[in-house]
Amino acid sequence: MSYDSIPAHLEMLQDSVRTKAYRNAIQEVVRPGDRVLDFGCGTGVLSIFAERAGASRVYAVDRSRMISAARTIFEENGCRNIETVSGDGGQVQLPSEVDVIVSEWMGHFLFAEQMLEPLLRLRDDFLRKGGRMIPASCSLHIGLVSTNRYLEELSFLCTRPYGIDFSAVGDWPFRDVGMLRMEPAELLPETVCIGELDLHTVTGTPRRLSGTLTSKQDATVFGLCGWFDAQLSESVKLSTSPFSPVTHWLQFHFPFERRLDVKAGEAIEIELEIIPLEGQSGYTWQARTATAVRDGRSWTQAEM
């Protein structure tokens, strides 16, 4: 979805869970007189929140054509302390350091938008020592998919539809990571955090994530579900979990080609690799699960 047009921005603004969480965090973190950088400002809603929280200057940065609309929105809302800057994280020059960087940079399962590295360049160049980040930290989480509904859908090519043998590509749907909205009832209740990022110190997108969870019941699982949480401020947390209020973010689905039977009390090891695509934007994701006592490995990978 292009950020040059309104549909993506309308979707985000209509996400009241996301937008109100940012407003509350900005009110908590921004102090009167602060200079604030809003990276990827879009229509400028976070910049307006920052000015209303008392910022003496807000630099609203965006590389899309929406920056011109944001400029008009600022004027029509009587914003006098917001300065628009066109460019991405590698091109932007600001007249001074800032006290706070706020950014809604997170894509599905955190990294899909590829905005982390540009954000960190701006942090290293312009955030003053002791400055604050919104969000302050992010974490990635995995749950086990307990419904076979997706297995049945993804196995369609293996059923000889229309009397045609599609076995040459029958397993391809299982190599793709899907983005969908899962219901709590489609997952086992146990989840695991597989990685945490402190936005004040992280240096880039991690390449390997891992964790171990233990089911409290005998179960058959058919894939992994991934999401992120963002600690926007000390008291404001935003979650994209299937177990939390719905946001515009979707969950990642890593399907298994074959079901995995697990026993109550059995440890399940989970590993994810995030591999940059050479000469392209995006990543290849590889996911692996294994039980601790027997070989029960299932693989899935996708280019995102």
Q: How far is CA 104 from the centre of its chain?
A: 10
Structure tokens at 52: 């209303």
Residue 83 designated active-site: no
Question: Whose CA is closest to 285, among 149, 188, 213, 194?
Answer: 194
Instruction: Provide φ and ψ at 284, rounded to 5°.
Output: -100, 130
Q: Which of 28, 83, 113, 117 is catalytic?
A: 113
Question: Whose CA is closest to 133, among 205, 38, 40, 41?
Answer: 38
Alpha-carbon torsion angle 115, 117, 118, 120, nearest 10: 120
Q: Which of 51, 104, 186, 257 is catalytic?
A: 104
Structure tokens at 6: 């309104």
Question: According to DSSP H, which parts of the chain are helical?
Answer: 6-14, 16-29, 45-52, 66-76, 116-126, 149-154
Residue 234 designated active-site: no
Centre a 10 Å sphere on the Cβ of residue 170 and count the other Cβ atoms it contains: 17
The Cα 52–Cα 232 span in angstroms is: 18
> What residues are annotated to the active site?
104, 113
